[in-house]
Amino acid sequence: MALIKVCDNCGKTKLIVPGENVCYKCFPKKYNKKLNSFINNLKLAKDEKEELKYLLKNFHLTQPQEEIKY
């Protein structure tokens, strides 16, 4: 079921990510803000936080094709 609504971030009427009020183009920005906030709240040294941000930014989780259901 496709949800076409007004994006909370850019204000355009687009396909919305399920469970969120942002479009697919704006979702990574919102996700990165949440992730950075979470990392900054961890009790880690500054260099450990930077390393964690780098690893998460450059790590892409993928699923095998047979597990993807449409």
Is 11 inside any structural domain? no
Q: Encode pLDDT of 18-44 as tens digits.
A: 878 888 888 887 777 877 787 788 887
Is 38 inside any structural domain? yes
pLDDT of residue 32: 77
Q: Which two tokens stand for residue 9?
A: 């971030």
What is the Cα 67 distance to its own chain's centre?
21
Containing structural domain, residue 54: 25-59
Segment 52-69 mean pLDDT? 60
Is 20 inside any structural domain? no
Is 12 inside any structural domain? no
Q: For 27-36, which contacts have Cβ atoms below 8 Å and span 24 or more sequence positions? A: none
Residue 68 has pLDDT above 60, yes or no: no
Is 42 inside any structural domain? yes
Domain count, the chain: 1
Pairing of strands 13-15, 4-6: antiparallel
